[in-house]
């Protein structure tokens, strides 16, 4: 019975994280799970890559929420309809242990009456879905959930230690990525056919970051073998303006939620994001390689382009169940910066994870950001790091100013199956 419980727990957690492997037992269960990741970081700015940090006023020190992965808690319900098809429901809330907060810490736009949806009003801000799952059916989810693009990047990001996307010194700190979750989403993953798998998603009016204006469409194709995996995704958005909904243009919250550009044509293209990547496993090593390109079609081109491109590579070495080391390198070309300025930025990150006990990790991270004159990438840009946005604190570099960051922390995961 213990092995059966472990199988159910594993497959349902894979469902939560976007996997497509499922148990076949026609029975019901409830999994309560949680993850707490908290630590302490120091971020230092330097004038250029040859400079040393000159003063305490050019640095920031403080607690962080999630150096490896974002803290969360929730529940997964599963009800067996047949031997191969299950009804599933997921509720997942964000957790911020350094300030004892839960839910969502940002205003979520407006409701249909132009009233601001306040902080914390969306308790299950990470996921709130219901759907179906089965070995021969695949998985179908409806509600607020992660985008396919975000899920796949989380698997292929070399600094992602799982579960989810790596935070400190990872791809989430770059300009290309603010597409994590979508509201009103329908998302389907096919079952695996001789190694091949696919996915489709559609969402309307709402989401995280750049997904707050219009509709979102996604396509995913992947291949899994014993030693390697490949994937490619496409994400496209269609921009709607607030005028289309009969709302007043003077309401800034409405503009933020339904589309800021009042001059845009209703139904005009918004973002286009292409991704592809791969993983190769060799004994105790895992090698990562990927590329993301994002175009904002609603804005005028700068230097003949309006794209942000990120190439990344890395390797993870897992010596045993207690020790693993990862190295990641990210190279961004931002063609949206002012003409005539350097538009490249890089992040190099070294990560060490020590697991003395099951589900408990101790980690250390070193990361270095190099900015050219037109870029100002910061390690504090990931929403889970929560450093102040005031340049005087040292958390935000000026254009062309580099950064060095250090982080140490603890992560604990738990889950329990109720039958």
> pLDDT tens digits for 261-315?
444 445 566 778 899 999 999 999 999 999 998 887 766 554 556 788 899 999 9
Assign 208 a pLDDT band (cuts: 50, 70, 90): low
> Of 209 and 84, which is predicted with more confidence?
84
pLDDT at 360: 95
Instruction: Give me the torsion for CA of 33, 39, 45, 50, rounded to 10°.
Output: -100
> pLDDT tens digits for 22-81?
444 457 899 999 999 988 888 887 654 444 444 444 777 778 878 888 889 999 999 999
Q: Name the β-bridge partners of 74.
A: 33, 92
Angstrom distance (rounded) from CA 382 to CA 405: 13
> pLDDT tens digits for 96-154?
777 655 555 444 433 333 333 444 456 788 899 999 999 999 999 999 898 898 888 88
Please check the confidence at residue 4 and state whether its pLDDT lies above 50. no
Locate the domains of the chain by residue range: 2-418
**Assigned architecture for domain 2-418:** Beta Barrel (2.40)
> pLDDT tens digits for 316-358?
999 999 999 999 999 988 887 665 567 888 999 999 999 999 9
User: For the whole model, what pTM was predicted?
Assistant: 0.80
pLDDT at 209: 59
Angstrom distance (rounded) from CA 122 to CA 99: 17
Angstrom distance (rounded) from CA 373 to CA 380: 19
When pLDDT is averaged across residues 362-372 and rounded to a whole number, the result is 90
Say if residues 229 and 192 touch (Cβ distance below 8 Å).
Answer: no
The pLDDT mean for the chain works out to: 75
pLDDT at 158: 87
pLDDT at 379: 79
pLDDT at 376: 79
Other Cβ atoms less than 10 A from the Cβ of 87: the count is 14
Please state, for a pLDDT cut of 70, what percent of the chain lies above it: 65
Assign 381 a pLDDT band (cuts: 50, 70, 90): low
Say if residues 413 and 35 touch (Cβ distance below 8 Å).
Answer: yes
């Amino acid at each position: 019975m213990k092995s059966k419980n472990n199988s159910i727990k594993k497959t349902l957690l894979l469902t939560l994280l976007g996997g497509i492997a499922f148990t076949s037992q026609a029975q019901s269960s409830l999994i309560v799970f949680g993850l707490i990741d908290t630590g302490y970081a120091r971020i230092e700015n330097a004038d250029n890559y040859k400079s040393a940090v000159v003063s305490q006023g050019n640095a920031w020190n403080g607690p962080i929420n999630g150096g490896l992965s974002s803290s969360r808690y929730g529940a997964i319900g599963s009800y067996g309809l047949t031997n191969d098809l299950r009804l599933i429901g997921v509720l997942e809330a964000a957790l911020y242990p350094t300030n004892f907060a839960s839910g969502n810490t940002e205003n979520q736009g407006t409701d249909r009456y132009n009233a601001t949806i306040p902080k914390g009003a969306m308790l299950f801000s990470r996921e709130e879905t219901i759907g179906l799952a089965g070995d021969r059916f695949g998985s179908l989810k409806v509600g607020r959930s992660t985008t396919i693009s975000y899920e796949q990047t989380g698997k292929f990001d070399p600094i992602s230690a799982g579960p989810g996307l790596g935070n400190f010194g990872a791809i989430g700190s770059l300009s290309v990525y603010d597409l994590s979750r979508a509201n009103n989403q329908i998302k389907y993953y096919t079952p695996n056919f001789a190694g091949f798998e696919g996915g489709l998603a559609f969402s309307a009016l709402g989401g995280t970051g750049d997904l707050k204006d219009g509709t979102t469409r996604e396509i995913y194709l992947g291949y899994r073998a014993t030693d390697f995996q490949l994937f490619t995704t496409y994400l496209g958005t269609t921009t709607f303006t607030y005028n289309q909904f009969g709302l007043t243009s003077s309401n800034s919250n409405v503009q933020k939620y339904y589309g800021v550009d009042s001059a845009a044509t209703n139904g005009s293209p918004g973002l286009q994001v292409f991704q592809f990547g791969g993983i190769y496993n060799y004994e105790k090593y895992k090698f990562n390689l990927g590329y993301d390109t994002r175009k904002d079609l609603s804005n005028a081109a700068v230097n003949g382009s309006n794209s942000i491109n990120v190439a990344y590579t890395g390797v993870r070495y897992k010596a045993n169940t207690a020790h693993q080391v990862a190295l990641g390198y990210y190279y961004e070309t931002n063609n949206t910066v002012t003409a005539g300025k350097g538009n490249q930025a890089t992040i190099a990150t070294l990560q060490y994870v020590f697991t003395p006990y099951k589900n408990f990790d101790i980690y250390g991270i070193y990361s270095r950001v190099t900015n050219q004159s037109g870029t100002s990438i910061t390690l504090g840009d990931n929403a889970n790091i929560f450093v102040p946005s005031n340049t005087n604190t040292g958390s935000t570099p000026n254009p062309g100013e580099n950064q060095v960051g250090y982080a140490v922390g603890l992560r604990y995961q738990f889950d329990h199956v109720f039958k």
